[in-house]
Structure 1
Amino acid sequence: MIRFIVVENLRGIKKCVIDDLRNVNIFIGRNGAGKSTILEAIYIASAFTNKHDVLRNVYKFDYVVQRRGGRGNWNSFRDTLWFLKDVDKKIIIELKFSTGNTLRFTLINDVMPPPPLHVWPILLEVPRKVIYPYEEGVAYIGHDSGDQLAVWNPARGVIESSLDKRFYESIESELEYLKNVVFLDEKLPIHIIESVVWRKVLDKRLDKPILELIREEYEPEAEGIGFKPSGEGFTLALMLPDTSIEVDSLGDGAKIALLYAAILSLLKETGVLIEDLENHQHPGGLVTLMRFVLRLAKERKLQLFITTHSIELINIVKKLTEDVGLGMRVYYLERDRSTDIVDVRAMESTDIEILQKLGLDPRLLHIL
């Protein structure tokens, strides 16, 4: 589990430090405060162990560039990730885990050539003495053309040496956590979920609890979820007593609930990044969906990172985490416009409750 995050020079964040993270972490704040950027930072760090986003069939470096505006890729538009587009400064993402290990990643401003010359643009920064016992300074761990970890010299653009297996083993659990991180936003392509995710869901018959989720809140008469022939092969559909409805045609609330539930059902011991979950959800739908999500988080040891503008979602999660037995914290992010350093104020469940009893809204801390 990630317990501590430092982000430097990423998008609108010059620096942000968030500590004492819990099982469930909710980020609130004004527009432009950096909430989504924190999710993107974890997503970028996950690219060190798995550069490919299997949910979208795209390189993570490309998706993080194009997901907001829908244009460009890493090679053509990557400067938009740098604070003030100052590409001479390092983007730093530092993660400290509950194991005590800290992973400090550096994002380098370089093109991403195709294989076999491909070198990933994210490096793991470690003291050189970890690799070379008698040397001082910093060493960088990167990926060689065979996607194997190696000691990389970014100044010279060369591989210095292969990596000792013992070093990899010392951070294996942290890398495994990052490898399986998923980013859930509104841009999940249904056809990839159908082909990549649902097959595994059916193999383990995890469709049964997902169907119960849909019945409870969205379609009470649903009889099943399955594939039906379509003009382009097969499509996932909800089976009703008198007809079937393609998932594409479902209301946004039901569709998002089904997709998120399918993805989360397959994860274990990793992080889940969820952006603005309240969109397209009635408060009743939020309760039902979050009960399902938090139960999975408890059973499968998932750590949740959620951005929101919804006080309803905060209150729902506060109550449900208490019921399930998960630790939860809300973090109010506020960017100092004079320094662009993001100040973070952490609130426990009791703090939120006290504020609301006083008639104060925790989303409006900037004017309280």
Structure 2
Amino acid sequence: MSLNVANIRKDFPILSRKVNGKPLVYFDNAATSQTPQQVIDCIVDYYSGYNANIHRGVHTLSQEATDKYEEARLKIQAHFNAKKSHEIIFTSGTTHGINLVANGFSSLLKKGDEIIVSALEHHSNIVPWQMLCERTGATLKVIPMNQDGELVMSEFDKLLSQNTKLVFVNHISNALGTINPIEAIIEKAHQVDAAVLIDGAQACPHIKPDVQALDVDFYVASAHKMCGPTGVGILYGKEKWLNLLPPYQGGGEMIAEVTFEKTTYADLPHKFEAGTPNICGGIAFGAAIDYMNAIGFDAIANYEHELLEYATEKLLAIDGLKIYGTSKHKTSVVSFNLEGIHPYDVGTILDKLGIAVRTGHHCAQPIMDFYKIPGTVRASFAFYNTKEEIDALVEGVKKAQMMLS
């Protein structure tokens, strides 16, 4: 199945605007994807038609909102192939989900236990585990990377031991686009009875994860990477782990009974969903998943791979341009620098031309330290981008090089 990109682009109102007098070329999809009209309409429909708090009201609006919110949970369960709907916990995003799990393991770890992360992690999958180690006395170990931006799996094998309790890696690197071999990582970690959390924030816009087939213990994702709104995401957790972990926050909704002497907690998923949630965001997340599934993830992956190959070839034809992250297994991200020019300066010139890219360390400073660079220019592509836009990027990079050299 091929994509009708021209028709798809009509679904995204923002793609028709101009920036600095130029047609917008949006290549910052790894940070936040754009939102189709179908999802925008869903958000408007909620606030104009049935805005109410959920789960606690007997009135019609509350019941309608509750039904829509729980329907969205079922859509997400089906999309990720979770065994049970209560294994899907709504969060404010990937970072929230990671911190929820890290907080829960504070009561389960002790001095001498070991946690493994990878050298390719976003800061949100490094800092919470450092904080966890400080609280518990556990030790943090790191799977190293190579010059291609791939994990050195032979070193991972050496790090694993009976002291390994947790392994945390991203499915896809946000800075380099590398697709990590998470199936092997999960299998090897389970051989020493370690739990595994996969940061799926960068994978979910491109891949349809099957959490049962992966046999992963935790998987986290954000809606705003998947054509949905900001401020909402999910944590998938196996039922046994979610029952074992204590609540992350206390408040309304997550309780079964409260007295001043003792509180008992609600069953899953409400145990981890204290307070009024982002109701509209959850419902809109479901709408975004419907939208992407209607297009088809196989078609999305194939088309984005075409964009990646085209952009890689065109950019490498520029003298003095170096791409970081050259794994054979990667998604539609090109992270690059021009020799002798700071990435921030390149990004500034591109913005003047209406081209939106990300510059800096991409919340992955250890990767930049590995390459001994201050950061990169990152162009990240989505299924609504075109080869003509990539041509505009290439010409913009050439112009920046001419102006800044």
Q: Same fold (TM over 0.5)?
A: no
TM-score, normalisation: structure 1: 0.28
Question: Which structure has the highest helix share of the two?
Answer: 2
